[in-house]
Amino acid sequence: MRPGRGRTATAARTPFVVLVVTLLAGGLISLLLLNAAVNQDSFQLNKWEKETTGYTDEQQQLQQEVDQYGAPGTLERKARELGMVPGGNPAFLDPDGSVRGTPERATAPPPSSRPAPPPTSTPSPTQPPATPTTSPGR
């Protein structure tokens, strides 16, 4: 064997080895950056899911409050507080203009026969306050 021939084969492989190492390093760095981007999006998605859950809970609590104000007993109590009284027998107008039924004037019952208004409802200790909440991250 000649002494210069071993160096020539090694010298010819050097650019190939550098190319392969560079491609592997570039691939690993690209994979790392892609993984970091996916993780960041995952954290953002998790944050949005928590916000959505909070808003859903708040919406349900507000809907319960609206339903409570629209309950028949609550409406009757509020109407009595405003001085309204139950109506009498209604009368209806037919398309030809004739009156069907005997109308009666609504009158307040005497104070002694008026039922006592139910006690006002207070929120239970387990029910959260009706004020909207905001997440601490905003």
Evaluate whether residue 119 is within a structural domain. Answer: no
CB atoms within 10 A of CB 50: 12
Write out pLDDT tens, residues 63-94: 999 999 999 999 989 998 998 988 878 889 99
User: What token pair was written down for 41?
Assistant: 């999006």
| Nearest residue to 51 via CA among 112, 138, 135 | 135
Residue 95 neighbours by CB under 8 Å, 6+ apart:
none
Evaluate whether residue 68 is within a structural domain. Answer: yes
What is the pLDDT, as a whole number, of residue 10?
72
Domain that holds residue 72: 13-83
Evaluate whether residue 93 is within a structural domain. Answer: no
Q: Decide: pTM greater than 0.85.
A: no
Number of domains in the chain: 1
Write out pLDDT tens, residues 17-65: 999 999 999 999 999 999 998 888 888 899 999 999 999 999 999 999 9
| Nearest residue to 121 via CA among 69, 82, 81 | 69
